[in-house]
Structure 1
Amino acid sequence: MTFATPFHTRLRSTRHSIPVDPRRAATAAAITACVVVFAAEVYARRWISDDGLIAVRQVRQVLAGHRPTYSTAERDEVNTSVLWTWLLVAVSAVCGGEPALQAVWAGGILSVGALAVALDASRRFQRSRGADGMLLPAGVLVVLGVIPFWDYGTSGLETGLCFFWLSGSWALLAAVKPDSTPRRRHGTAFALGLGPLVRPEFAIASAAFLVALTLLAGARARKILSIIAVAGVLPVAYEIFRAGYYGILIPMPGLAKEASNTHWGRGFGYFDDFLTTYKLWIPLALLCVLITHLYGRARPSNREVVLVATPVLAASLMCVYVLRVGGDYMHARMWLPLVLLMLLPLFLVPFSRTTGVVVALTAVWATAVGVNGRTSYHNLDAGPQLITNEREFEAAFFGHKHPARAADHLGGDWGAYLEQAVDTARGSAIPVLLYMAHDNATDKDYLTTVPLAPGRTESFAFFWDNMGMTSVLTSLDQLVIDRNGLATPISGHLRLDHPGRAGHEKSLSLVWVLAKYADPVAVTRV
């Protein structure tokens, strides 16, 4: 015969006194499933883009003790995202290894983390509204179904950071209350103010978030001033550094792409390419039904109005910006953060008969798009306005299913040809400039060299237009001259006379290059 001690008796009674709520358990399972599925999708499409390698070269320069630039001979801020650059510097310094691969992993972790943060914030928001039952995945199904979300979960670009900052900002807002402590209020303000350092146009989202913060915190004049001061301290400090060090007020990609210009027609073409490829009007219409059902019957509280309206308003304003500047040449990339932002309040919705039907229809659409949703142009083909499905394009161009390492970008016929030409030119007895010339007799282009100008300290210079691939071919102390303006200040400052493919409209003439970098004695004709 055995006897239970009082401690064991209390332990058994405690275990049996906490029943598991099956509805909350189902919600937790649904959240977990969404995160796991998205992580699997991102991993299956892992890669680093040519533009991602441009940012990685700047990181490598910093790690080598050089300037934060592309070529040591120039001062040029080649990466649009300040935070992404310095985050990669920190990750690479701590973890070691190849910075390109660190960029892939960091982007993937941030993207998956963003989804987890957004789902948890949506759960807390719905619970604060009194929804104590099961919550269904709704808006998150758009992220799970649209393939570009998988592609740009990595890519070496700042998109994963964009996802994480937007999700994290909304999560911080959802935790703010009128009685929040000054530490929480100022900590939230500091995080919300980082938008311009994530991407310059994210200043729009920062402004919207900060207005929401003042409303949610019930801030008066003095508190509002302190919020603005804390939010602006780092962006303003960096802008002073940028103006003094680089001599410009925006990153070079913004100057090279003339981000202040207006191209409404091209912008709407870019929007149509995204909208029609995935038939996005279907989930948008279904989610409008959800908004009406959730908030149309009873008057929501002021807090609910702010938390729902802020991401929708911020995303709408940023959509106008993308339309005005003409979009991008990478299919869907500029739209992804905005779609995620707009859907944040509807990532999870309370279960009811109506929401169940709407979510089921959205799930059918997401499954169909995930299986069959593809651009009409594939591999090396370009679509309208010379838009490309960049991941497919580069995988085909470099002949690698997952071009996630720097060396993977030297595959294919072009990679082998360029690598051989660069090796030959670097082995020259004198410093030379390698560039593409044209043979009028055969009407073909070919790579050739000319001696560098006396006084140039570089052992080799290369005039080309794929700065990511070129960053792999050349060492950090060798000069690279960018035809399109991202990595060379002189080409970035050219006047844009003839609009063309987004991001590739400026072209530095060989005449300028030879005049600035080549030995004038050796240059007899162009």
Structure 2
Amino acid sequence: MLGWRNRALTDDGTIFLRTVRQILAGNGPVFNVDERVEANTSTLWQWVLVLLGALLPGDLGRIAVITGLLMTVTGVFIACDATRRLYSTNAPTRWMLPAGVLVIFAVPPFQDFASAGLDSGLGTLWLSACWWLLVRLRNDPSPLELTAHAVVYGLGVLVRPDLFLVTVIFFTASWLLRRPSFPQAAAQLAALGTLPISYEVFRAGYYGLLLPMPALTKEAGQTELAAGLRYLRDFADPYALYAPAALLLIAACLIAKRHSLDRALLVPATPVCAALALTAYVTKVGGDYMHARMLLPATYLALLPVFLIPCTRALAAITVSIATWCAVVAGPWHTTTLDPNSQTVRVRVEDTRLTGNDNADNTRAWTSAFPGLRESVAAALAAKTPVLLRLRPDDFRPDLLMPLNPMYKGTKISIPGWYLGVTGAVVPLDQRIVEMWGLAHTLGAHLEYTPGWEKKLPGHGKLIDDVWLLALDLDPQVLDPPPGSIAVTREGLAAARHALSCGDLKELLDSTRKPLTAGRFWDNLTGAWERTNLRIPRDPFDAERKFCGRRQP
């Protein structure tokens, strides 16, 4: 009910829909038809939406919202059943009390992302399934069933790349609990890796990279501890999460006293270890701009062993205390107020402001909220020649129409995608969108960080400079930068264009734009490691020296 009350499609959720529509239209898993880019982090969620879009009528955005909510509800039910089974043989009573599950119901970010059109619902369902299968190990499943478990565990990296940590920890716990023979272990490893490795080969050959483009853009291997710790605090402070955490820790200790210190404790310890690993990773990379989103899987994992707790006098008192905390947090009198210095955004609040709708749960609700963007696209499509648009930042109406690079054959417009999801919904599938943050743009993802931007908007540190945008999309017959271009000179524009024609930078662009022949697939596959690690200097003269070795005469 809480998830339904807060149902809404986020702009980021709408990004998935353009790729889904491209697949359904026969153009392949791309964002623009002229560039093979993996714009979405969750591979599995993308293909779930493709399947649903092919089978069900109606708005894809609403389908994504409802499906995510159903997956969340189903996942919570499965998790509760698994925790009940965990205590069914050792609990002093058959009655169970809700404890950790109350935190899920109370904390607003869980409600916000239950139906955001993102992969959160799928992630909740997968985590719950892994937990249920781990508890199932206590019933001594057959080797064939254990192999099937491994297939489910292996899906983690396809749900989200960071869930690879959960896959490793759950599979290791499964191996320690069952201690399979060598042939059985080999079969389970094969089952664990077949799907993710097969997709990784496809990704490297098709896109030319080893990671989804958003992971590359956000520099998933970086270390930003100060920002990560602030991200943790921004989640914990507004809801006083320390209170239920302390109460549930006491409950876990009381429950543990009733269990013998043997391998059985490995089962509840497994999701807690996975939660710690995920939290450490999210903290290391500096978090995200979306309030709490990256910490929700870790929080969910940590709560799983105490979703339900046995009914004893002491544990009942703890449950009442948690319920009291829930009433404070979930009640209408509680307003989520983030630190004014916070770098995170509660997307539901922001999206409600943008759309003017508390339940913008479909694509039309978004497109109707951006009339200037719709007018800009219509004006560009009506132009006599192909154009590159520049939009006014206040209302997204045309600021300047420039001649488009003729290499984009069949394309009439190229338009900046500041809000990529709604732009993808407005712009026709056969027209070009420039993802300005580099999250779905080949050159942008490989640029060095924009100085200062990473501190303003975590995860969005690769804003594309005007000089590179013009070098790629402006007609090369135009030698002078158009009026209003930021820090672009005639010489800089020429240097950027020269750099694009040289060495590894040219090969990078070719990997996504050349026709996908067998030879191109092999070149992409074998060069994926080097290409993933390639970084482009922002200064066009530095880039020219790096890739061309000399200045253009």
Asked if Structure 1 and Structure 2 have the same fold, meaning a TM-score greater than 0.5 normalized by the shorter chain, the answer is yes
Q: 1:406 aligns with which of 357, 363, 381?
A: 363
Q: Which moved more, 1:199-208 or 1:499-508?
A: 499-508
**Partner of 1:48: helix, strand, or coil?**
coil
Q: 1:485 to 1:137 in 2, by over 3 A?
A: same
Q: 1:95 aligns with which of 48, 53, 56?
A: 56
**Partner of 2:388: helix, strand, or coil?**
strand
The amino acid that maps onto 2:188 is: I
Q: What's the offset of the Cα at 1:429?
A: 1.2
Gapped regions of structure 2 (runs ≥ 5): 483-553
Q: Which moved more, 1:227-236 or 1:384-393?
A: 384-393
The amino acid that maps onto 1:165 is: W
Q: Give the Cα–Cα distance (whole angstroms) in 1 for the partners of residues 140 and 268 of structure 2.
A: 21
Whether the 8 Å contact between 2:387 and 2:403 is mirrored in structure 1 is: yes
Q: 1:131 to 1:476 in 2, by over 3 A?
A: farther
Query: With structure 2 as the length reference, what TM-score do the two structures score?
Result: 0.83
Other-structure match for 1:327? 287
Q: 1:502 aligns with which of 458, 474, 480?
A: 458
Other-structure match for 1:10? none
Q: 2:437 aligns with which of 484, 490, 497?
A: 484
The amino acid that maps onto 2:449 is: L
Q: What's the offset of the Cα at 1:399?
A: 1.2
| Matching of residues 374-389 of structure 1 within 5 Å | 374-377=335-338, 383-389=340-346
Q: 1:431 aligns with which of 386, 393, 406?
A: 386
Q: 1:417 aligns with which of 367, 372, 387?
A: 372
1:393 partnered with 2:353: no
Other-structure match for 1:25? none
**Partner of 1:433: helix, strand, or coil?**
strand
The amino acid that maps onto 1:191 is: V
**Partner of 2:137: helix, strand, or coil?**
coil
Other-structure match for 2:403? 451
Q: What's the offset of the Cα at 1:452?
A: 1.1
1:465 partnered with 2:418: yes
CA RMSD of aligned residues (A): 1.9
Deviations 1:97-124 (A, max 9, x none): 2221111111111011111101111111
The amino acid that maps onto 1:238 is: Y
Q: What's the offset of the Cα at 1:411?
A: 4.2
Q: 1:122 to 1:438 in 2, by over 3 A?
A: closer
The amino acid that maps onto 1:387 is: T
Q: 2:118 aligns with which of 157, 170, 191?
A: 157
1:114 partnered with 2:75: yes
Whether the 8 Å contact between 1:375 and 1:389 is mirrored in structure 2 is: no
Q: Give the Cα–Cα distance (whole angstroms) in 2 for the partners of residues 438 and 354 of structure 1.
A: 58
Q: Give the Cα–Cα distance (whole angstroms) in 2 for the partners of residues 87 and 473 of structure 1.
A: 23
Q: Give the Cα–Cα distance (whole angstroms) in 2 for the partners of residues 265 and 386 of structure 1.
A: 12
Whether the 8 Å contact between 1:514 and 1:523 is mirrored in structure 2 is: no
Q: Give the Cα–Cα distance (whole angstroms) in 2 for the partners of residues 374 and 416 of structure 1.
A: 31
Q: What's the offset of the Cα at 1:445?
A: 9.8
Q: 1:357 aligns with which of 310, 317, 342?
A: 317
Q: Give the Cα–Cα distance (whole angstroms) in 2 for the partners of residues 420 and 145 of structure 1.
A: 41
Q: Give the Cα–Cα distance (whole angstroms) in 2 for the partners of residues 321 and 438 of structure 1.
A: 35
Other-structure match for 1:293? 254
**Partner of 1:113: helix, strand, or coil?**
helix
Q: What's the offset of the Cα at 1:178?
A: 7.0
| Matching of residues 20-419 of structure 1 within 5 Å | 40-177=1-138, 179-303=140-264, 305-371=265-331, 372-377=333-338, 383-412=340-369, 415-419=370-374
Q: 1:448 to 1:119 in 2, by over 3 A?
A: same
Q: Give the Cα–Cα distance (whole angstroms) in 2 for the partners of residues 59 and 456 of structure 1.
A: 22
Q: 1:109 to 1:437 in 2, by over 3 A?
A: closer
Compare CA radii of gyration and give the structure with the larger one.
Answer: 1
Q: What's the offset of the Cα at 1:518?
A: 1.6
Q: What's the offset of the Cα at 1:267?
A: 0.4
Gapped regions of structure 1 (runs ≥ 5): 1-39
Q: Give the Cα–Cα distance (whole angstroms) in 1 for the partners of residues 21 and 397 of structure 2.
A: 32
Other-structure match for 2:548? none
Whether the 8 Å contact between 1:435 and 1:464 is mirrored in structure 2 is: no
Q: Give the Cα–Cα distance (whole angstroms) in 1 for the partners of residues 262 and 219 of structure 2.
A: 43
- Give the fraction of aligned pairs with identical amino acids, expressed as a percent: 35
The amino acid that maps onto 1:269 is: R
Q: 1:455 to 1:505 in 2, by over 3 A?
A: closer
Q: Give the Cα–Cα distance (whole angstroms) in 2 for the partners of residues 385 and 263 of structure 1.
A: 15
Whether the 8 Å contact between 1:147 and 1:373 is mirrored in structure 2 is: no
Aligned residues: 476
**Partner of 1:327: helix, strand, or coil?**
coil
Q: Give the Cα–Cα distance (whole angstroms) in 1 for the partners of residues 258 and 86 of structure 2.
A: 18
Q: Give the Cα–Cα distance (whole angstroms) in 2 for the partners of residues 45 and 135 of structure 1.
A: 29
Deviations 1:277-322 (A, max 9, x none): 100000000001101111135524422x111100000110110000
Other-structure match for 1:474? 427
Q: Give the Cα–Cα distance (whole angstroms) in 2 for the partners of residues 85 and 129 of structure 1.
A: 41
Q: Give the Cα–Cα distance (whole angstroms) in 2 for the partners of residues 395 and 437 of structure 1.
A: 22
Whether the 8 Å contact between 1:432 and 1:452 is mirrored in structure 2 is: yes
Whether the 8 Å contact between 1:49 and 1:391 is mirrored in structure 2 is: yes
Whether the 8 Å contact between 1:180 and 1:217 is mirrored in structure 2 is: no
Q: Give the Cα–Cα distance (whole angstroms) in 2 for the partners of residues 337 and 252 of structure 1.
A: 21
Q: What's the offset of the Cα at 1:416?
A: 1.7
Q: Give the Cα–Cα distance (whole angstroms) in 2 for the partners of residues 80 and 385 of structure 1.
A: 25
Whether the 8 Å contact between 1:491 and 1:508 is mirrored in structure 2 is: yes
Q: Which moved more, 1:446-455 or 1:200-209?
A: 446-455
Q: 1:41 to 1:398 in 2, by over 3 A?
A: same
**Partner of 1:168: helix, strand, or coil?**
helix
Q: Give the Cα–Cα distance (whole angstroms) in 1 for the partners of residues 79 and 125 of structure 2.
A: 9
Deviations 1:464-498 (A, max 9, x none): 32111111220111000111011211111111253
Q: Give the Cα–Cα distance (whole angstroms) in 2 for the partners of residues 253 and 42 of structure 1.
A: 27
Q: Give the Cα–Cα distance (whole angstroms) in 2 for the partners of residues 224 and 366 of structure 1.
A: 44
Q: Give the Cα–Cα distance (whole angstroms) in 1 for the partners of residues 193 and 320 of structure 2.
A: 43
**Partner of 2:124: helix, strand, or coil?**
helix
Q: Give the Cα–Cα distance (whole angstroms) in 2 for the partners of residues 83 and 284 of structure 1.
A: 32
Q: 1:298 to 1:99 in 2, by over 3 A?
A: closer
Q: Give the Cα–Cα distance (whole angstroms) in 2 for the partners of residues 522 and 53 of structure 1.
A: 35
Q: What's the offset of the Cα at 1:129?
A: 2.4
The amino acid that maps onto 1:424 is: A
Q: Give the Cα–Cα distance (whole angstroms) in 1 for the partners of residues 45 and 286 of structure 2.
A: 24
Q: What's the offset of the Cα at 1:220?
A: 3.3
Q: Give the Cα–Cα distance (whole angstroms) in 1 for the partners of residues 92 and 188 of structure 2.
A: 32
